[in-house]
Amino acid sequence: MNKLEDEYEEIQPKIYAFFYAKTGNRATSQDLCHDTFYEACKNIASFNSHSTLSTWMFSIANNLLKKYYRKNKYQQSLMEKLAIIPEAEIQSIEELTEVNEDTKMLLHHISKMEDAAREIVLLRIYGELSFAEIGVLIGKSENYARVTFHRLKLRIQKAMEVTL
């Protein structure tokens, strides 16, 4: 478990950001993040080093997110939740600054993508995973993840230029 404790400070913010990008809710993101580390601690013996610890943790996070969606009968799309950031969740001027128009526009364009593409973008941007790790999570090659992300990034940039 020492390896998990050593990596906690680096992985935790990424997993939290991943959950927040998916749910748009701080409390839910914190709960799911906590559950992810609880499951990881409980099952650390099953970590076989065939992947990185980060990939293993995101695999747990992904499974918990799917379980959360099933349990709560998640019906709305990702963007509907992310585009409308409740003002009640903005507690300071610094947080208000963070939630700027460019971020909203970026999230809007990400929400228009098909599910598989959106997953790659969110894992790369919010999860800060390597292309190899993303490839493992989506069941594709590292090169597929890299090329797909690059193409999606270009598509988003072009869409954002048109919007401006």
pLDDT for the residue 108: 81
pLDDT for the residue 75: 42
Q: How many residues does the chain have?
A: 164
- Provide the percentage of residues in the chain whose pLDDT is more than 70: 77
**For the chain, which domains are there?**
2-163 (1.20.140.160)
Q: Where are the alpha helices (DSSP H) in 47-139?
A: 53-72, 78-83, 93-98, 101-111, 115-125, 131-138
pLDDT for the residue 144: 94
Q: H or E element: which one contains 7?
A: helix 2-23
pLDDT in tens, 131-142: 998 998 899 999
Mean residue pLDDT of the chain comes to 79
Task: Give phi and psi for 59, each to the nearest 5.
Answer: -65, -45
Higher-confidence position of 107 and 146: 146
Is the distance from CB of 147 to CB of 76 less than 8 angstroms? no
Tokens of 58: 């995101």
pLDDT in tens, 52-84: 888 889 999 999 988 888 776 534 444 444 454
CA-based angle 100:26:20, to the nearest 5? Answer: 65
